[in-house]
């Protein structure tokens, strides 16, 4: 069975959902404001004869219908970075400010880290962490190519991340874009559906709960934690939020996103979740011609400590 069929009760148009998931995903690039402006990028792409289409909901994104992102000189020189449209949503939700201390808990290969650095005008500190040592080379390469100087790369298990090596003891904001079953990426990587198992979903959900819990603990009272995945599975989305809401002093807050989305679900199979998970956002491929995604924003309470 196609694992996507288990989510048909959650979508408004099952046929359109399945058809969208079966189409290939356009290549998309994001303008890197640390090195170039939107106008400089468009002039360069036009001069090189690169066909591009502006993304209507985000001024700094362009679709490249005819080629892959890394085949033009503006990309090589760090003016552009390949990033799927929906993957910019967590950075927008995080809304970082210059000078803040940010934790990107699962940062490699660095698309969201570099987006956050751009939003911060490369000021402040981003601790870009990943537990996979092999992926850190891509993270470091991307930060260097894009001219990022405010990111410190660390290699820890985010579930028990230690702040002791750092010069501070809490973060202003944390991004938790966790490893997941990746069903929402099937338009660019159809193999994820062939490799999908319910056992993997259930196993990785436990890891996700631990990482999000640690992020809440490591973020200052009143600070922001953004949780995101590229899966449709409620076990990895609403169930993770429900667990952390029960275990830690935090709350979900309203979040405006510039795409058509659906609210989080409060019931799935035999499980029910906190009503506030409706404040989370589900992104389905047939609504915006994108990949699938899930994004939620939490505020840390006063009783949480690092």
Known catalytic residues?
230
* Cα–Cα nearest to 144, from 121, 167, 113, 179: 113
Tokens 């552009």 locate to 80
CB distance 81 to 88 below 8 Å: no
User: What stretches of 120-268 show up as alpha helix (H) in DSSP?
Assistant: 136-145, 191-194, 198-218, 238-247
Tokens 């819990």 locate to 213
In angstroms, the CA 284 to CA 303 distance is 36
Pairing of strands 262-263, 281-283: antiparallel
Tokens 């006063």 locate to 302
46 contacts: CB under 8 Å, gap ≥ 6 = none
What is the residue-wise DSSP string for 87-127? GGHHHHHH---TT-EEEETT-TT-HHHHHHHHHTTT-SEEE
Percent helix, percent strand, percent coil in the chain, to nearest 5: 35, 20, 40
Whole-angstrom CA distances from 129 to 75, 152, 177 are 24, 8, 11
* Cα–Cα nearest to 111, from 85, 93, 131, 74: 85
In angstroms, the CA 60 to CA 96 distance is 17
* Cα–Cα nearest to 80, from 122, 114, 117, 103: 114
CB distance 122 to 149 below 8 Å: yes
């Amino acid at each position: 069975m196609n694992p996507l069929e288990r989510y048909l009760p959650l979508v408004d148009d099952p046929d359109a959902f399945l058809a969208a998931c079966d189409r290939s995903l356009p290549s998309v690039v994001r303008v890197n404001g640390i090195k170039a402006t939107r106008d400089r990028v468009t002039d360069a792409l036009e001069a090189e004869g690169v066909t591009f289409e502006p993304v209507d909901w985000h001024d700094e994104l362009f679709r490249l219908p005819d080629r892959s992102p890394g085949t033009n000189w503006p990309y090589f020189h760090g003016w552009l970075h390949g990033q799927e449209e929906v993957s910019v949503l967590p950075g927008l939700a995080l809304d970082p400010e210059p000078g803040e201390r940010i934790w990107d808990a699962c940062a490699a290969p660095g698309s969201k880290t570099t987006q956050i650095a751009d939003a911060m005008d490369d000021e402040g500190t981003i601790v870009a962490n990943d537990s996979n040592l092999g992926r850190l080379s891509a993270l470091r390469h991307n930060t260097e190519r894009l001219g990022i100087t405010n990111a410190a790369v660390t290699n820890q298990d985010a579930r028990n991340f230690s702040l002791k090596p750092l010069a501070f003891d809490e973060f202003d904001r944390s991004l938790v874009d966790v490893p997941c079953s990746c069903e929402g990426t099937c338009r660019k990587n159809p193999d994820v559906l062939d490799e999908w198992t319910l056992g993997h979903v259930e196993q990785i959900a436990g890891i996700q709960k631990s990482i999000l819990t640690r992020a809440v603990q490591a973020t200052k009272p009143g600070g922001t934690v953004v949780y995101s995945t590229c899966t449709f599975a409620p076990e990895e989305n609403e169930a993770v939020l429900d667990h952390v809401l029960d275990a830690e002093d935090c709350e979900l807050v309203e979040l405006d996103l510039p795409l058509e989305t659906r609210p989080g679900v409060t019931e799935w199979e035999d499980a029910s979740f906190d009503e506030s998970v409706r404040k989370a956002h589900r992104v389905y491929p047939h609504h915006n011609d994108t990949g699938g995604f899930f994004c939620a924003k939490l505020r840390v309470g006063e009783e949480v400590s690092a």
